Amino acid sequence: MAAKIFKELPGGLKMPAIGLGTWQVTNEAELENALNAALEIGYRHIDTAFVYQNEHIIGRVLQEWFSSGKLKREDLFITTKLPMQGVHQDRVELFIKKSLENLQLDYVDLYLIHFPVGIKHDDGQNRPPPEKIQTEPSDHVAIWKKMEEQVDAGRTKTIGVSNFNIRQVDTVIKSARIKPACLQIELHVYLQQRELVNFCQQNGLVVVAYAPLGSPGYNKFTAQFGNEPKNLPDMLNDKTIKKIATKHKKTNAQVMLRYLLQRNIVAIPKSVTPARLKENIDVFDFSLDGVDMKALDDLEVGEEARVCDFKFFPTLLQHPEFPFSK
Ligand SMILES: NC(=O)c1ccc[n+]([C@@H]2O[C@H](COP(=O)([O-])OP(=O)(O)OC[C@H]3O[C@@H](n4cnc5c(N)ncnc54)[C@H](OP(=O)(O)O)[C@@H]3O)[C@@H](O)[C@H]2O)c1
């Protein structure tokens, strides 16, 4: 089965190379159907976050699978993330406990710092609206110590970071007793992040690609803050990718995901559509050759193709730890 292709994390934990993204799915029935379909198809890796406000739905569906005996906890790889309001040494434990309670789990497989910037915390619930967000200093060394304590306490098997740049990953590596197992970043054919990927792979971190299909649903998210729709990169209709897809009797999405796998990168495409869920994990029965890989390498656009730039929270940009170019 497709989900049996793994990347090994430090400590021997195995992460299935295709996972299920769940950002923006908060409708109970929609997520329940998608999760049930995904688990039937063979997905064993689920990516969520405290801020996605869907951990409780995932928890409920997983409990059904466990209690029916169709799955055991150890069959699954579950990732969740410390929200920006938890990016402070005094609040890591508080937030991982909230996530575990929502997920109805004793532990997650991977706990990530979602974003390198911390914001002021009020009631510990959801993030305030963008205009009310106030940042605060973020001491990554002190926060990482608290992340390590979550491994010691058995609340997570491994820990990692997301949206960190090279300098920030390096700071964590240098101070770490337990090295970061993973960096999760936006990564697709138009934004290949080669320097950052090389740095992580040389230092033993598994790179996980978010928005691997270019996040075509992104504008729905920013519309809630009244933002103008962004001109999104359209890789699902890219002609070069289409040519390669036709050659292999695959779709553009499958070529884009396969490209990442062949660069030793895990991908977490999100879909709530059963046919697409099948399509996105059906990427282990073909190989891109050197000519295909070169043609895909050449599609790199760079920073301009970044979709998820977090600029929808304008105050973050002023913070010294804002990780992307402004
Ligand atoms: N760490 C972070 O800061 C961060 C940021 C963003 C995302 N993430 C994680 O990464 C996951 C993936 O990123 P993403 O959701 O932004 O973007 P994505 O996976 O690149 O794209 C998802 C979108 O593509 C559509 N889609 C899925 N498969 C398709 C296919 N085969 N053909 C055509 N369209 C397809 C989906 O529609 P339907 O669902 O309608 O099928 C959905 O609108 C997230 O869900 C989340 O778990 C993490």
Fold of 2-308: TIM Barrel (3.20.20)
Q: Please report the atom of ligand 1 found closest to the CA of residue 310.
A: 3
Mean pLDDT, range 287-312, rounded to an integer: 96
Query: Distances in Å between the alpha carbon of 309 and those of 73, 135, 233, 261?
Result: 34, 17, 13, 24
The best mutation among 41, 188, 213 to test binding of ligand 1, ranked by most ligand atoms within 8 Å of the C-beta, falls on 213
DSSP per-residue letters across 104-148: T-S-EEEEEE--S-EE--SSSSSPPPGGG--EE---HHHHHHHHH
The best mutation among 23, 51, 235 to test binding of ligand 1, ranked by most ligand atoms within 8 Å of the C-beta, falls on 23
User: Which residues contact residue 99 at a Cβ distance below 8 angstroms, ignoring those fewer than 6 apart?
Assistant: 50, 55, 80, 108, 111
Query: pLDDT digit string (tens) for 111-169?
Result: 999 999 999 877 656 677 788 889 999 999 999 999 999 999 999 999 999 999 999 99
> Residue whose CA is closest, atom 29 of ligand 1?
276
Query: pLDDT digit string (tens) for 39-84?
Result: 999 999 999 999 999 999 999 999 999 999 999 999 999 999 999 9
pTM of the predicted protein model:
0.97
What percent of the chain is predicted at pLDDT more than 70? 98
| Confidence at residue 80, expressed as pLDDT on a 0 to 100 scale | 98
| Confidence at residue 2, expressed as pLDDT on a 0 to 100 scale | 45
Domain boundaries, the chain: 2-308
Mean pLDDT, range 233-259, rounded to an integer: 97
Whose structure tokens read 């934990």? 13
pLDDT surpasses 50 at 315? yes
| Confidence at residue 228, expressed as pLDDT on a 0 to 100 scale | 87
pLDDT surpasses 50 at 210? yes
What percent of the chain is predicted at pLDDT more than 90? 86
pLDDT surpasses 90 at 225? no
1 pLDDT tier (thresholds 50, 70, 90) = very low
| Confidence at residue 221, expressed as pLDDT on a 0 to 100 scale | 86
CA distance 233 to 210: 14
Amino acid letter, 156 = T
